[in-house]
Amino acid sequence: MIPTAPERPRSGDSDHPYRHDSTFHYLTGFDEPEAWLLLDASGRSTLLCREKNPERELWDGKRLGPEAAPSALGVDDACEVGRLASLLPERLADQPAVWFAFGMHAQLPALIDEALAKVRQRSRSGVACPEAERDLGPLLAEMRLHKDADELQTMRRAAQISAGAHARAMRYCAQRFRAHPQGSVREYEIEAELLHEFRRHGTQGPAYTSIVAAGANACVLHYAAADAELRAGELCLIDAGCELDGYASDVTRTFPADGRYTPAQRELYDIVAASQAAAIDATRPGARHRDAHHAAVRVLAQGMLDTGLLARDQVGDLDAVIESAAYRRFYMHGTGHWLGRDVHDVGLYLALDEPAAEESDGRGGRIVRRPSRRLEPGMVVTIEPGIYVRPGPDVPERYWNIGIRIEDDAVVTPSGCELLTRAVPVDADRIEALMREG
Ligand code: GLY
Ligand code: MN
Ligand code: MN
């Protein structure tokens, strides 16, 4: 049993814009609220959805309705969603188990319990009640993790539109500062450029809250676009991507407001770009998901030592910095995550089928460590290293308040990976050229 997402009230009698449940939409392609998919062991699929209702459709828009659902969606049959409570006990009778995603839908366990109670009431007439509840979540997550050709086509398009939006934002800033070199641009003005580009290409909008961070705001990892002023000489970090037909993209670029990196910005930028290149090299079939992070960390940590962000006499050499995780002061997040219908997509990160190693936690306890899983063609990951420098007495002042992240989306191919988001440049010279010429 797979329900879609509920509608969520915003205030008064207004709802948030409706967004389907990702897994439900993956299985059905249906994006109306109040809908369920029932699948049984014989392969039969039943959609429960809202009935047609001319009065409601006048206010809220068209409904597909159960009659049209089988031909429109390819389900075997469909009925009105109000029949759920009576249909469930019928469908669960004589089944060995009931499958649903554990811990995902708050009302679901109670509903299933009610249906099981009704099946049990019929046991005297020889009807068998399911003996087990099974977690459907991991199975469907595994399916979603491996993208097919159609899914990848949609993701390529989403990625390309997002890359175009980043290029547009860069050009917009360049034009503003060309016209008024001493002026400023507000974060929300840049955000508006992104939204314009997302919507004009027919995407549903941002896949997550857009980050547009002027200057020091880039050091706040989950900063949302607000009203701060971006000034010449500062960096602008944008982490924004559109959602297209249920699929997310996730892109970050960090560019100089007025089109020229300062020497200090350029030094750190080139380190982050080099660390991303190392992580991209480590993104290929057979490599472990975590390899990209380790590759990025090596380059970042070396850069921190070379620039004096980390003082060798305090933290030791590269291996010591990695061992002690001293680099985490300036790079505190992972280098990537699965990407798909959700921006942080479903799918296990650990290889549960490989032996785990136990080690001491240094406090008398034990930690079980599992290896990170191996990448396979069709998986999509982000690759997003960064450096974030908050002021501190032991930090060289020229780097204070510089926050840089570079993020691309990559699909694992049989021989390596394909970057989906390079319609906007990463190389610092190419970003400067785009801003000069755009
Ligand atoms: N935009 C969210 C992330 O990069 O993970
Ligand atoms: Mn991102
Ligand atoms: Mn990301």
* CA 78 – CA 52 distance, rounded (Å): 13
pLDDT recorded at residue 359: 83
pLDDT recorded at residue 71: 98
* CA 335 – CA 252 distance, rounded (Å): 12
For the chain, the distance separating the N- and C-terminal CA atoms, rounded to the nearest angstrom, is: 51
Same domain, 195 and 114: no
379: amino acid identity, one letter? M
CATH number, domain containing residue 66 = 3.40.350.10
- Between CA 151 and CA 292, with CA 169 as vertex, the angle to 5 degrees is 50
146 counts as catalytic: no
Which has the closest alpha carbon to 275: 203, 333, 346, 196? 333
Name the active-site residue from 55, 150, 222, 353.
222
Contacts by 119-124, CB closer than 8 A, 24 or more apart: 119/89, 119/92, 119/93, 122/89, 122/93
394 counts as catalytic: no
Predicted confidence (pLDDT) per residue in 390-435, tens digit: 999 999 999 999 999 999 999 999 999 999 999 999 999 999 999 9
Number of H helices, E strands in the chain: 13, 23
- Structure tokens given for 24: 């439900």
Is residue 316 situated within a structural domain?
A: yes
Q: How many domains does the chain have?
A: 2
Domain boundary among 136, 154, 177: 136
What range defines the domain where residue 404 resides?
146-437
Same domain, 257 and 331: yes
Is residue 231 situated within a structural domain?
A: yes
Residue with tokens 């933290």: 315
Q: Which atom of ligand 1 is nearest to the CA of 239?
A: 1
Is residue 229 situated within a structural domain?
A: yes
Same domain, 213 and 236: yes
196 counts as catalytic: no
- Positions of the chain with pLDDT under 70: none
Is residue 107 situated within a structural domain?
A: yes
Name the active-site residue from 8, 344, 430, 436.
344
CATH number, domain containing residue 167 = 3.90.230.10
Same domain, 24 and 47: yes
**Residue 230 main-chain phi, psi, to 5 deg:** -95, 130
Same domain, 42 and 176: no
Are the beta carbons of 377 and 174 closer than 8 angstroms?
A: no
Q: With the C-alpha atoms ordered 150, 155, 158, 163, is the resulting torsion angle positive or negative?
A: negative
**263 Cα: distance to centroid of ligand 2 (angstroms):** 26
Q: Does the C-beta of 243 come closer than 6 Å to ligand 1?
A: no
Same domain, 169 and 102: no
Nearest residue by C-alpha to atom 4 in ligand 1: 250
Residue with tokens 């394909």: 418
Same domain, 166 and 290: yes
Residue with tokens 């991303």: 276
**88 Cα: distance to centroid of ligand 3 (angstroms):** 39
Same domain, 261 and 163: yes
Same domain, 266 and 340: yes
Which has the closest alpha carbon to 389: 243, 264, 283, 294? 264
384 counts as catalytic: yes
Is residue 14 situated within a structural domain?
A: yes
Q: Does the C-beta of 31 come closer than 6 Å to ligand 1?
A: no
Nearest residue by C-alpha to atom 3 in ligand 1: 250
Is residue 141 situated within a structural domain?
A: no
Residue with tokens 């899983």: 373
Name the active-site residue from 388, 399, 408, 432.
388
Is residue 15 situated within a structural domain?
A: yes
Same domain, 112 and 213: no
Name the active-site residue from 405, 408, 409, 432.
405
Residue with tokens 């007025």: 258
* CA 298 – CA 291 distance, rounded (Å): 11
Q: Does the C-beta of 343 come closer than 6 Å to ligand 1?
A: yes
Are the beta carbons of 84 and 114 closer than 8 angstroms?
A: no
pLDDT recorded at residue 101: 96
Q: Which stretches of 108-241 are assigned E, i.e. beta strand?
A: 132-135, 184-186, 205-206, 211-214, 229-231, 235-240
| 3-class secondary structure, 398 | helix
pLDDT recorded at residue 62: 97
Q: Does the C-beta of 345 come closer than 6 Å to ligand 1?
A: no
Same domain, 232 and 351: yes
Q: Does the C-beta of 208 come closer than 6 Å to ligand 1?
A: yes
**189 Cα: distance to centroid of ligand 1 (angstroms):** 21
**337 Cα: distance to centroid of ligand 2 (angstroms):** 10
344 counts as catalytic: yes
* CA 103 – CA 107 distance, rounded (Å): 10
Are the beta carbons of 28 and 48 closer than 8 angstroms?
A: no
Domain boundary among 100, 116, 136: 136
Same domain, 356 and 432: yes
Domain boundary among 118, 136, 154: 136
β-bridge pairing 97-100 and 77-80: unpaired
Name the active-site residue from 407, 408, 409, 432.
407
Is residue 377 situated within a structural domain?
A: yes
Predicted confidence (pLDDT) per residue in 84-125, tens digit: 999 999 999 999 999 999 999 988 999 999 999 999 999 899
